Amino acid sequence: MEQIRALEKEGLIQVTYRDMGSDVKRIDLPVAAVEKLCQREGMEDSRQRQLRYLEEVRAWSAPVQEVPWLRSYYEDLIRRLEAGKIVKEPEDPDLFRCLNTLTELKEPVWERVFSCMVFKNSKKFRSGGCREKVISVLKNGLYGCPFYEEGMTDDGLLAACGILTYSQTLEWKGPLQYQIMEVQADTSMLRYGCVLNAQTLEHAKISGCSGCVSTVMTIENKTNYENMAYAEDTLYIYCHGFFSPKELRFLSGLCSVLPAGVKYLHWGDMDYGGIRIYQYIKRHLFPELIPYRMGARDFEEAIRMGAGIDLEESAKEKLENMDAGELDGLKQAILRTGKTVEQEMLLAAACSR
């Protein structure tokens, strides 16, 4: 009560008393008093904090005005702050450091190198929680990040932006030749497949093929890729989903060394993600790509074999809104049956028959 009367005497609060002034019914305070009350309590006035956040976000935004998706992100934060909404992002400026540094990358870098660039600490990007926050911004369709494709893994998305993990490899089976420095390598002898790590991909380039290659097939799932026997006239490439920038660069040399008339096929899951991956490879790598065992009839046969799994509601809405192109028949079959088919399910169904 002594504290209340002292604040009332200073004009910082207005008090409605009861019980002959021995108790308090209500306390009101004018807006103008909030700043002084916060100062007395050692707190930051929420209005001042909002103004400080606005100033900070504008400062982070200034160097990236030429990057549309990141400019859009900062503009969204500024609009929300100006509207008086609670915005938590400015509480963690490390997120802004990561996003701005991302736009400065001229060449791909390892994830730990990126962490050192931002924090002078090789592990903080992953262990400090910034990795997840950066990925969340990149995936937000509101900002239109050009690197993101629906269905990308987190590692794949970071790789597309230029942040590499040590797990990135490219695998294939077939008579491919590539050059690294002055050395020519021929993988036709490796009947069970060849694996190049990310560093080799960075320095290698395709130089030719051994013999006559009539078919190039990209395969989404590892089990099906492993199950494909070596064929002298076929190049099987395990795509694992969306190819990374290094994989795209390396494989882009393939079309120039292959003769006209080569078939480019893709075999993937018969679901929303599988359609997106097929479209990505066709758009970015092989313009003449056609689907393999991914038509409506293939889907219906797989369902009869018992390979179907339930279509998730979240994927159904995305599928309804997508342009499936030449895989529209597959799209309609999925929506009609409420089922999807993963490649591995085809092998499992065949084994159980």
Helices (H) and strands (E) in the chain, counts: 18, 15
Q: How many CB atoms lie within 10 A of CB 99?
A: 22
- What pLDDT does residue 79 have? 95
Q: Supply φ then ψ for residue 26, to 5 degrees.
A: -160, 145
- What pLDDT does residue 348 have? 54
DSSP label of 62: G
Q: How many CB atoms lie within 10 A of CB 266?
A: 26
What pTM did the predictor assign? 0.69
Question: 14 forms bridges with which residues in the sheet?
Answer: 28
Residue 278 in tokens? 């097929």
Q: Supply φ then ψ for residue 258, to 5 degrees.
A: -100, 145
Name 174's Cβ contacts closer than 8 Å, sequence gap at least 6: 187, 188, 209, 213, 230, 231, 234, 235, 236
Q: For residues 160 and 106, is the Cβ–Cβ distance under 8 A?
A: no
User: What does the DSSP assignment read for 295-310?
Assistant: SHHHHHHHHHTT-EEE
- What pLDDT does residue 167 have? 63
Q: For residues 64 and 70, is the Cβ–Cβ distance under 8 A?
A: yes
Domain residue ranges of the chain, discontinuous segments joined by +: 2-41, 46-164
pLDDT in tens, the chain (353 residues): 888 888 888 888 888 888 888 899 998 988 777 777 777 877 767 788 888 899 999 999 999 999 999 999 999 999 999 998 988 999 889 999 999 999 999 888 888 889 989 998 888 998 888 999 999 999 998 898 998 887 788 888 898 888 987 667 899 999 999 999 888 999 988 989 999 988 888 889 999 988 789 999 999 988 889 888 888 899 999 998 888 888 898 999 998 899 889 999 999 999 998 999 999 999 999 999 999 999 999 999 989 888 888 998 888 988 999 999 999 999 999 999 999 988 777 665 544 45
- What pLDDT does residue 287 have? 94
Residue 288 in tokens? 């003449």
